[in-house]
Structure 1
Amino acid sequence: MKMESPVVTHNHISPVPAQPPTPIKRESFQGYAAQPATPADSVVTTVTQIAPDPANDNDRIGLKADHRTPAHRLFIEWPSMTNFCNGVPFIQRLLQEGHRIDQYPMLMEQDRGLLRVWGVGEGHDLYDGAHGPGSPENHLESDSPSPAATKEGLWGCPPADHSSPSTYNGDLPRHDHVGGLGPDGKPDFNSQTLWKLYRSYQENIHNLHPFLNPAKLRKMIQEFQDVYSPDRKNSTMSPSAVPERLNGGMKRKRSSSMFGDAYGLADELARGSIERSLRNAIILLVLALGKVCLHKEKLPHPQSDRLPTANGTWGYHRDSPRSANDSFSSDGSDTRARNIDILPGMAYFSYATDILGNQNGGNTVAHAQAMLLAALYLGQFGRVLESWSWTNNACRICLVLIRREGKKVYRKKITQNAAGQNVVEDPNDDGQSAEERHRLNLIKCVYWTCLQMESDIIAEISELQPSAITQYQTKIEYPSGVYESFGEGMPELHETSEHTKNLFIYSSQIHLRVILNDAHNSLYGARLGFDSNNIDEIGNMARSHAELLATWRRLLPEPLAWNDSDPPSTDINIARMRAKYYGGYYVVLRPLLFKAIHHMKLPPTVASNNSPLPTDTSFGSNPHRDIVDLSAEDEKALKIVQSCVESAIQSTIAFDRIGADENLPYRNYESQRKSRLIVPNIFGTLHAQFGNMLVLTAVYTSQMRRFLPEKNCLTKDTLTALFTRTQDILRDLSGNSPVLSLDYEILDNLARLHNIPYRRSR
């Protein structure tokens, strides 16, 4: 099998030394004359780069739907995985119903329905006029009791009087309520709580996606406290503390005091009335995110409407299903806890999204920011379709904004004058005021956040239709503080603040995301620009993307650089950067790994050997490796396989030391994380890890495994340890995600099929 190694050497890579690249023979290369369109000014040392016009190459720019990267597509793309789901009941029912295996994520996410923000559980509104009579589960028939009709219903409603909290679930809100209610049954706006949640947001979310202005947000929180906190410093509030926006249109009886109106309004606000402004929605969402990020243990999940039943088509078991007696009282009334009582931050989120429901037609930066915050909150619970819906709304708004501003938000271009000299054309060099630059910078921040969040979802659920947001990825300028390139002109990280360091990492996230978007299209898209049966053309395409990633890594400043032999980082931002790099490297090499496993012609002495795979945990004593003389081309192919395997492993374990003691030794791929993993899209992160495990198992169970290098890292012990850590984290999210719950079942079944003795925790 002829295969050119795409592995590129650089200062920070420590594994097998790569061979100097040799030209690939391309008898019928059709396609990729130019490098992938990326903002990968990250891989050049100049500050600017000519951006291609999307109109001239529209099919190659922007992430497209139906690419074949996601983990669940492996089941129909890789023949070696044909039997991986044998024995999984849900998959067998799926096939009997005439569906493909790879359809399970969308089917399960659609059929789970919506989170009932004010009510209990999740599901569809079966009395919306579009459904016939049915039970709370879609497509299910069950003899389990249905909740009796109540005033609040399954969907619930906001308490009409905050001074008399609802007793829908029979319990009064308690102090430090998990959902965010105070002892009096209204959202907890105690001053100490506000600032605690604000700090939690800054440390956990702003640190990952800095699209809100920190100084302005702090001021907004302060003003919110002055109006709504019951323990504000002054028992009476000056008129200036009541924002003017609250007074417009409110007719009140004139007080004998000149400040009577303000005091009266303050009393009304203190009783729980919240002005339904966009500003308040943003603050409430910040509080919701701060609250959920303070929850360091496994997140609670909405409680099921009914017991899981054997005849349920798409039903799934939560980790702790309640019995019918627990869910309903003897008279059939529902006694389950409301979501605002059990889901961290839900009390703030429910009020915020009520406000956003009336703001859905807005097209300002603040509207986009609010939608992104809502998406990030739902993303913590693995609710990928609902998170995508909010993200998609933010993308729609962002497209309106950038089309309106046009060249004001475009990046600099380089042209040549008559003398052949490069001239930088700055479409923004028109004497803009500081206020105008700040306004445009907010649009840029929102744009790049929208692009990252939408792309991260569609990378793992490619059945969703993306917006046109990524079609502008070669044109929109980066926000201030985000570096267009790594190399010349950059300050030394040793001499800068933590904020600047985080901006370096944020820059990396942008660069890597766009490189990966191009890889999804080029290597996995519906319209490939090369012959997918020609190994030379596959190798050329993979090598071009691998070189982009390797060059990006080589240009990292010293404090961010690492060796492949280093343990995973304890810093969440650095871990995200490494995870995206390794995940990307694995993705671009995976087509070559596929060819190696399924089409590599093994030496006859082994190809004809039907003996079972060796059970030893080290390949150093493999006799086949000693007696078979592999060709130079086979050796190159095996190095590619090795590099892909190592990248898949590194991507899988990248977050396993978050919050751990840096001095604690890291051994045997055992997770040292002490608390819940907080990332923007936990579903995408874990579904990708699930896919990594499928591919690693395919390599481990293939005949090709016998020929991997002597120091190969894919041993039985390694695979067992990786199964243990992956199943542990999938189990933690299984209650909130039916897809991740099924991913867990598939891997558990796979371990049984291939005798992988991992430690089961349930």
Structure 2
Amino acid sequence: MKQLAIGLSRYTAISDGYDMCSSPVSPASATDVHYENSRLTTCYSKAKVLEYMDSFEKNILNMHPIILPRQLRALVQVFLDTRLQAGRKAPTAGTKRKRSPISDPDTINAPYKPSKPSIDDGLALLVLALGKACLHKGKMPDMVRSDGLDGEQQRQPRGLPTQRSPPGSHSTSGLPSPKLEDRKGREGAKELGRQPPFWGIPMPKRDSSLKNYDVIPGLEYFAPATDILGNQMAGSTLKHVWAHILAGLYYDQLARPIESFTHITAASRALLTIFRPLLSRLESYKIRERRDNQLVIAFWTCSCLESDLLAEMPLVQSGILNYDMLYPNISMLNEGGVELRVCESYIGQLYLHKRLKMFDEGQSADGGPALKFRQDMVPEKWVGNQFKFCESDPPAADILSARLRAAYWHTQVAAFRPFIKQILQFSHGIENHLDVERAADIRPDLLEHAGMGINALIESTSVFQGLAKGERPIITNAFGTAHAQWGNILVLAACCKSDVLRRHVDESVLGTLFSRTIDFFELISVGKSALNTDLNILRALKKRLFSHARELALRNVGRPAP
């Protein structure tokens, strides 16, 4: 009985974090940290905050509707009201308030000191950070360089750790803190030991050089948000799960997959803490309560994001992929204010994710499972009415349709790429002076499956080419998507060089895929990230494959026809 009472009390404490509209503020950090604000006029004006909130809802929640629209608006409105009220507080003793002849009632124009930043504040700041990052349509800027040093050398002197957290806090952002950067150049050890300002942009600079928060969209919100999150690493409410998911998605926009994965797995572990006492109930009945529905949506979001990154990097799992769950109640999600189109897109993504996981567990060497899998994955059987498509359709022009087709073609690649691998290994043996006549011994069904795989590789690589040209596509798991396309191109290049598979690859199509994939990478990759290495490999491989063909074409120019 004692253990049961402890379990029930723990469940009650965790449940308080479900409802962000009616629940009390989530527990703050045990560390009582006080922060000062400065120069917030441009950061927290009502117009800017609402603009970033709308951008977040349009670009992030349309792919992962973990927060209901009304919850999002309530969260941001409370955050904005709190900031405005704090900004209007009377100045402390010994200071003199200067009145501006023209004042904006919706703009913060005075310092304040919030006593205990809560997870609600951190969540709102992450919403603003992601919203601002999504408004940046071009390539994401790299960290500011100075004195010819790379990012790590520029951030810290030699012999010091790569990041210093302010006293009494634990930062998890991994990016150079705007507050720490602004203190560079200030003389005296006392200056370096002081607590940096927390909310918003740092104190006015003494020089005109750019800082990271000047060039990286949303960093001025993201840095303080991760300071809050770092002080609450043991938090196990649904709000903490959401916050870690959003932090992971922000890192993904900066093409930093390791940091993104760290936050996604933190969200997964926090969610499992909530889930384990409820598993038997959630697995045994239809979802009827909103809080349960949001738990299930958070579960599937963590599962999909973690799985996508693990497909490209051998990292340690959180354990969430060992569990299965019912699909969320889409009707309840739609009644909560989420558009039907978003609901259909999300449930389609979950269906493909679940089917791919089932296929991986039952895969065998013969073609039976792959063909059965392909038959089950015919779009007419599972896709929503607003996303109906045929395999021969051109690339979609909107992001939700493109993501759904990308997931579909990814499942086809996973099913048929093993057959391509078998034939490429066989071709390698032929090229190494084995009996050429053995090429005729390849089973026709194996060649057919390999042809299906090559077609899936081409479609999977070109799926985002219907979106607006020259604009960075706003997608989650940008690293995993780009790295998977890089792998597709390498396999297609190998097929083009194979005597057996060459007939399935049109060189002009492959050249177009190379060019457009390189353009895609130039928008997604940042600085010295792993994607930039992939980009350099693509450029070198394209030059190697097609330079000979260009030389032949130039030699034939002007020659009389035979």
Whether TM exceeds 0.5 here: the answer is yes
Q: 1:602 to 1:564 in 2, by over 3 A?
A: farther
**Residue range with higher mean Cα deviation, 387-396 or 633-642:** 633-642
Q: Which residue of 2 aligns with 1:447?
A: 299
CA distance in 2, matches of 1:735, 1:557: 35
8 Å contact 1:162–1:186 — kept in the other structure? no
Deviation track 1:19-48 (CA, whole Å, cap 9, x = no partner) reads xxxxxxxxxxxxxxxxxxxxxxxxxxxxxx
Say whether residues 1:200 and 2:75 are aligned partners. no
Partners of 2:249 and 2:477 within 8 A in 1: yes
Aligned residue type for 2:356: L
Correspondences of 1:493-642 after superposition (within 5 Å): 499-523=339-363, 537-550=365-378, 553-599=380-426, 634-642=443-451
> Residues 191, 222 of structure 1: CA spacing in aligned structure 2 closer, same or farther, 3 A cutoff?
same
**Computing the radius of gyration over CA atoms, which structure comes out larger, 1 or 2?**
1
Structure 1 equivalent of residue 480 of structure 2: 684
Q: Which residue does 1:286 correspond to in 2?
A: 127
1:658 partnered with 2:453:
no
Amino acid at match of 2:37: H
2:37 aligned partner: 162
Q: What is the alpha-carbon distance in structure 2 between the residues aligned to residue 483 and residue 161 of structure 1? A: 42
Q: Deviations over 1:389-441 (max 9, x none)?
A: 111110001111110223222154xxxxxxxxxxxxx6x7xxxxx8xx22222
**Kept in 1: contact 2:264–2:306 (CA 8 A):** yes
Is the CA contact (8 Å cut-off) linking 2:252 and 2:260 kept in structure 1?
Answer: yes
8 Å contact from structure 2 (residues 240, 267) kept in 1? yes
Shift of 1:561: 1.9
2:500 paired with 1:704: yes
Paired with 1:390 and 1:736, the residues of 2 have a C-alpha distance of 22
- What is the RMSD computed on CA atoms of the aligned residues? 3.9
- Match for residue 438 of structure 1? 290
Give the equivalent residue in structure 2 for 1:112. none
For residue 608 of structure 1, report the CA deviation from its aligned partner: 7.1
Deviations 1:686-741 (A, max 9, x none): 000000000000100101135x3xxx5x2221111111111122233333452111
Number of aligned residues: 450
Task: Report deviation, 1:574.
Answer: 1.0
Deviation at 1:460, TM superposition (A): 1.1
Aligned pair in 2 of structure 1 residues 160, 396: CA closer, same or farther (>3 Å)? closer
Give 1:644's aligned residue.
453
Q: Is the 1:482–1:506 Cα contact (8 Å) retained in structure 2?
A: no
Equivalent residues in 2 for 1:204-243 (5 A)?
204-229=59-84
Return the TM-score normalized by structure 2.
0.71
Displacement of 1:222 in angstroms is 1.8
Alpha-carbon separation, structure 2, partners of 1:267 and 1:342: 23
> Partner residue of 1:481?
330
Instruction: Determine helix, strand or coil for the equivalent of 1:722.
Output: helix
Offset at residue 345 of structure 1 (A)? 0.4
The answer on 1:297 being equivalent to 2:297 is no
- Asked if structure 2 preserves the Cα contact closer than 8 Å seen for 1:575 and 1:654, the reply is yes
Which residue type is aligned with residue 718 of structure 1?
V
Distance in 1 (CA, whole Å) between partners of 2:315 and 2:464 is 27
- Residues 1:159 and 1:336: Cα distance change in structure 2 (over 3 Å): farther
- Which AA in structure 1 matches 2:344? F
CA contact 1:186–1:272 (8 Å) conserved in 2: no
Report if aligned partners of 1:197, 1:287 keep a CA contact under 8 Å in 2. yes
Answer yes or no: is the 8 Å Cα contact 2:123–2:243 preserved in 1. yes
> Conserved in 2, the CA contact under 8 Å of 1:295 and 1:344?
yes
SS of 1:538's partner is coil
In the alignment, the residues of structure 2 paired with residue 304 and residue 652 of structure 1 have an alpha-carbon distance, to the nearest angstrom, of 33
TM-fit CA distance, 1:199: 0.5
Amino acid in structure 2 at the alignment position of 1:453: L
Residue 732 of structure 1 corresponds to: 523
1:279–1:648 Cα change, 3 Å: same
- Displacement of 1:562 in angstroms is 1.2
Which one-letter code corresponds to 2:367 in the other structure?
A: G
Shift of 1:453: 1.0
Match of residue 253 from structure 2: 380
CA distance in 2, matches of 1:689, 1:601: 23
Question: Which runs of 5 or more structure 1 residues have no equivalent in the other structure?
Answer: 1-157, 164-183, 238-251, 254-265, 313-327, 413-425, 429-433, 485-490, 492-496, 524-529, 531-536, 611-627, 660-672
User: Counterpart of 1:722?
Assistant: 513
Structure 1 residues 639-660: Cα deviation after superposition (integer angstroms, max 9, x where no partner): 222211111111111111224x
Question: Using the alignment, how far apart are the partners of 1:482 and 1:597 within structure 2?
Answer: 47
- In the alignment, is the contact (CA less than 8 A) between 2:35 and 2:113 conserved in 1? no
Q: Which residue type is aligned with residue 739 of structure 1?
A: A
2:403 matched to 1:403?
no
Whether the aligned pair in 2 keeps the contact of 1:569 and 1:655 (CA below 8 Å) is yes
Q: Distance in 2 between the 1:758 and 1:390 partners?
A: 46
CA distance in 1 between counterparts of 2:549 and 2:509 reads: 10
Separation in 1 of the partners of 2:113 and 2:393? 53
Q: Which amino acid is 1:546 matched to?
A: R
The residue type paired with residue 482 of structure 2 is L
Q: In 2, Cα distance between the equivalents of 1:695 and 1:308? A: 37
| Cα gap change, 1:557 to 1:679, in 2 (>3 Å) | closer
- Pair 349,227 (structure 1): closer, same or farther in 2 beyond 3 Å: same
d(CA) in 1 for partners of 2:446, 2:306: 34
Following the alignment from structure 1 to structure 2, what is the Cα–Cα distance between the partners of residues 629 and 466? 42
Aligned-partner residue type, residue 330 of structure 2: G
Distance 1:498 1:162, change over 3 A: closer
Kept in 1: contact 2:348–2:383 (CA 8 A) = no
Q: CA deviation at 1:564?
A: 2.0
Judged with a 3 Å threshold, the aligned counterparts in structure 2 of structure 1 residues 561 and 594 are, in CA distance, closer, same or farther, namely same
The aligned residue for residue 260 of structure 1 is: none
| Equivalent residue letter for 1:694 | L
Q: Structure 1 stretch 722-731 or stretch 291-300: which is displaced more? A: 722-731
| Structure 1 position 559, deviation (Å) | 3.4
Q: Write out the 4+ residue segments of structure 1 that deviate beyond 6 Å after TM superposition.
A: 266-269, 600-604, 606-610, 628-631
- Which one has a larger percent helix, Structure 1 or Structure 2? 2
Number of the residue aligned with 1:56: none
Aligned residue identity for 2:268 = C
Contact kept in structure 1, 2:117 and 2:228, CA below 8 Å:
yes
TM-score (structure 1 length as normaliser)? 0.54
d(CA) in 1 for partners of 2:427 and 2:108? 75
- Whether contact under 8 Å (1:378, 1:387) holds in the other structure is yes
> How many Å separate the matches in 2 of 1:305 and 1:587?
44
Give 3-state SS (helix, strand or coil) of 1:402's partner. helix
What's the CA shift for 1:506?
Answer: 0.4
Does the 8 A contact of 1:365 with 1:443 survive in 2? yes
Taking the aligned partners of 1:338 and 1:726, their CA distance within structure 2 comes to 31
Q: Tell me by how many angstroms 1:225 deviates.
A: 2.2
| Cα distance in structure 2, aligned partners of 1:545 and 1:354 | 46
Note closer, same or farther for the CA distance 1:674–1:629 as it changes in structure 2 (3 Å cut).
Answer: closer
Q: Which amino acid aligns with 1:287?
A: L
- C-alpha spacing 1:369/1:758, structure 2 compared with 1 (3 Å): farther
